[in-house]
Amino acid sequence: MKKSFYDRCYSSLKKVPKGHVTTYKALAESIHSKAVRAVGTAMKRNKNAPKVPCHRVVRSDGTIGEYAFGKLKKIALLKKEGIEIEGGKVKNLKKYLYKFKSR
């Protein structure tokens, strides 16, 4: 049975370890899609947080972005995992950015 778009997003996101983030765009690309906004919707509808760590998905410029439980909660979770946040953005995004492996 073919996985749904959301399930593919969640499966890929589970690969992002604590202390790292990914972007909506990178997550879309990891499942061979260009549907960046649909990835955002999938994160918004995630019913299995924090098992599916949608708090680890940020915008391409490092801005925190939205979170179902509020931006302050997202920032707190990221900081707890050791990610530096300054002015609502991941400080030094390259340092924390998870690189998905190509198939």
pLDDT digits (tens, 9 = 90+) for 48-63: 988 899 999 999 999 9
Domain limits at 75? Answer: 5-95
Number of domains in the chain: 1
Q: What is the pTM of this model?
A: 0.93
Whether residue 102 is predicted with pLDDT greater than 80 in this model: the reply is no
Position 103 in a domain: no
As given in the structure block, the two tokens for residue 88 are 């609502």
Question: Average pLDDT of 27-44?
Answer: 96
Is the pLDDT score of 66 beyond 80?
Answer: yes
Active site residues: 54
In a domain, 90, yes or no: yes
The verdict on residue 102 lying in a domain is: no
Residue 13 maps to which CATH number?
Answer: 1.10.10.10
CA proximity to 6, closest of 34, 37, 45: 45
Percent of the chain with pLDDT over 90: 88
First to last CA, the chain: 20
Banded model confidence at residue 103, pLDDT cuts 50, 70, 90: low
C-alpha distances out from residue 76 to 9, 26, 49, 91, Å: 23, 23, 14, 14
Distance CA 67, CA 39 (A): 13
